[in-house]
Amino acid sequence: MNEAIRGYFGVGAEGISKPGNLGALVRTAHAFGASFLFFVNAYWRAREAISDTSRAERNVPLFEAVSVDELLLPRMCKLVGVELTDAATPLPSFRHPLNAAYVFGPERGALSPQMLARCDWVVKIPTRFSINLGIAVGIVLYDRFLCYGRYAPRPVRSGAPTETLAPHVPGAPVFRNSPGRSDSARNTPRDGDLQS
C-alpha cells in the first residue's frame, strides 16, 4: 500500500441481493484500503453470506442501514453515487473528493431516487452497458488512486516513468532526481516533479 495516499473513503451498495457480488465488493474495497463499508437495504441472504476470502469484515468496519434516511456518514464525507445516467459525470472527468463514500446500485436495478437525491455527485463509468459490481468498484477505486496515490506521472512515451517520487513527508514537497541529470538540474524541481 502506498503510504502517501491522502484522505479516506468508504464503499457501499444499496439493495444488493447476491452474496457473490457482495463478497466481490467487500474484497475489492478491502484490497484498495477502504476505511469502512456500508450497505443500505441489503437482502438478508447477501448480508449473512459474505463470500470474501480476504476476511475484510474482520478488519474493516461494516455499517448497515435499512433505508437511505438511516445512512450515517462521517462529518465532511461526500457521498458519490456510481450510476449509468445521462446526467452523471464521466469518471475520467471527475475529481474525487478527499473524503468520500462511494455507493453502487443493485445488480438488476439502479440507485433509488432517494439515494440519488442524497448524493453530492453521481459519476458513471463510460461503458456501453452496466458491468459486474466488483469490477465497477475496482475501476472507481483505481481511478481514485490515480488522483491521490502519489505515483510517478505517466511518461509521454510508452513504458515506465524515468523518474519516481520519493516517499512523502506531510507538508514537504516531493520530488526525486532522475538518473543522468546534471548536478544543477538535480537541485531544481521541474514541472511534474513537485507534489504538494
Domain spans in the chain, listed from the N-terminal domain onward: 8-148, 153-196
Three-state secondary-structure class, residue 36: strand
86-125 CB burial, b ≥16 within 10 A, e <16: eebeebeebebbebbbbbbbbbeebbbeebbebbebbbbb
**CATH number for the segment(s) 8-148:** 3.40.1280.10
Q: Give the residues across from 186 on adjacent strands.
A: none
Q: Which amino acid is at 27?
A: R
Q: Estimate to the nearest angstrom the gap between the alpha carbon of 46 and the chain centroid.
A: 22
pTM of the model as a whole? 0.77
Residue matched to cell numbers 464503499: 11
Per-residue confidence of the chain (196 residues) as pLDDT tens digits? 444 557 899 999 999 888 888 888 888 999 999 999 999 998 755 455 555 556 666 778 889 999 999 999 999 999 999 999 999 999 999 999 999 999 999 878 899 999 999 999 999 999 988 898 989 999 999 999 988 877 788 888 888 887 666 555 444 444 444 344 333 333 344 444 334 3
